Amino acid sequence: MDYAVIMAGGSGKRLWPLSREKRPKQVLKLLDGETLLCRCFERLRPIFDARNIIVMTNAGYVDIVRENLTELPYDNVIAEPAVRDTAGAIGLVSTILAKYDPDATIAVVTADQIIKPAEVIQQAIRDALVFVKNNPENMITFGIQPTFASTLLGYIKCVDAQKYPGCDNKIYSVEAFREKPDEERAKEYIDTGRYFWNSGMFVWKAKTILNNLAKFLPESSEPLAKIQAAWDSPNQQQVLAEWFVKMPKISIDYAVMEKAEKVYAIKLDCQWLDMGSFAALADIITSDDARNIVVAGVSELLDCRNSIIVTEDEGHLIAAIGLDNMVVAHSPDATLVCPLNQAHRLKELLELVEQRSGEKFL
């Protein structure tokens, strides 16, 4: 059977104070009153029954995820008791699904991406499901056609595009994964025409990714086996809490994808955005005549330009004079004001906030 897994565990510190430890970026209502999580779920519904969509998140987000996705069965939200990066989350959901459906095919997507038009990723997922069912030892990832030489994204080198029966998209062989390059190297990648941005989305058989984890990350085998054996038993949560923390903390790219041989890709020609910062809003929200990005119910800007003004409180007035290349982000108990070119220092700022105020504002 086919399943979709939404990865929704990230907190999104670069969107503080809107995103918090108990209210992650994927549930912020920045898209015409909708959340990234809801948009992601809606993209999957034409392909998967809601009963076959699973959300992986951390324990602190379970309630807010269920509030956002009321169509999702209660038990389809799985809480990771500790942060163990994507290899841990993917291993956990795969071992659970494999217990009940040894032939399960899984599409792994992330909750914090904007993809337009949705039909592009939907067709790509359909093609990937067909390809993996016919080639069960192979794994598919999705590469984004680059629009500029980004130094903030990883790349995948794809070669030898082939047409496969039942697939609209061509399937590429993945020759290499590359980490975030410097600007010169990124331009070289773009010029070759063989490199795509790494989307962090995948399709594979549950048993295939588990076999690869056992091969390339053998320390994961015992914890996953213990968790699988105890799942749906009276001591499920106890075993999960005891053994999941023993999973290595590593991404699936480092753990498996960069080492595995049978990795293929489908190229996505679409508008794609990893919603990781305030600056990213400029790519999805139309600016005013002075190039201000405003997400607010009420605002009055006098002689402001090139600035980002954000609040989810539709009744809260944000008024500003003379701002230039600034960020103003308002939440009920905290407000961020900083130059756009200093927004990358948010992690440093949050360390100060934690030192002086504890976790109250985190």
For the segment 70-118, what is each residue's pLDDT rounded down to a tens digit?
999 999 999 999 888 999 999 999 999 999 999 999 999 999 888 989 9
pLDDT at 12 over 70: no
For 272, the token pair is: 């794609």
Amino acid at 349: L
Give the count of beta carbons closer than 10 Å to the beta carbon of residue 215: 12
Is 284 or 345 the better-scoring residue by pLDDT? 345
Asked whether 361 and 353 are in contact (CB, 8 A), the reply is: yes
Helical (H) or strand (E) element with 199? strand 195-205
**Does residue 114 lie within any of the structural domains?**
yes
Residue 362 within a domain: no
Rounded CA-CA distance 246/265 in Å is 31
Query: What are the Cα distances from residue 225, in Å, to 58, 90, 251, 327?
Result: 21, 14, 20, 47
Query: Under a CB-based contact definition with an 8 Å cutoff, are residues 80 and 244 in contact?
Result: yes
Residues 14, 157, 114, 284: is their CA dihedral positive or negative? positive
- Sign, CA dihedral 245-247-249-252, equals negative
Mean pLDDT calculated for residue range 49-59? 94
Task: Assess whether 345 and 261 both reside in one domain.
Answer: no
Tokens of 321: 């004079």
How high is the pLDDT of residue 11? 66
Considering 239, 257, 274, which residue would you say is the last residue of a domain?
274
- How much is the pTM? 0.87
Shared-domain flag, residues 235 and 343: no
82-86, 196-200, 208-212, 297-301 — most confident range? 208-212
Total domains, the chain: 2
Please say if the pLDDT value at position 156 is more than 80: yes
Domain end call among 228, 256, 274: 274
Q: Do 288 and 172 sit in the same domain of this protein?
A: no
Structural domain for 238, as ranges: 2-274
**pLDDT 10s digits, 226-238:** 999 999 999 999 9
Regarding whether 294 and 262 lie in a shared domain, the answer is: no
Q: Tokens in use for 338?
A: 């900083």
Residue with the larger pLDDT of the pair 239 and 19: 239
pLDDT computed for residue 273 by the predictor: 80
Q: Is the pLDDT of residue 21 over 90?
A: no
pLDDT tens digits, residue range 123-133? 999 999 999 99
Single residue among 222, 254, 274 that ends a domain in this structure: 274
Q: What pairing do the DSSP bridges indicate for beta strands 293-295 and 171-178?
A: unpaired
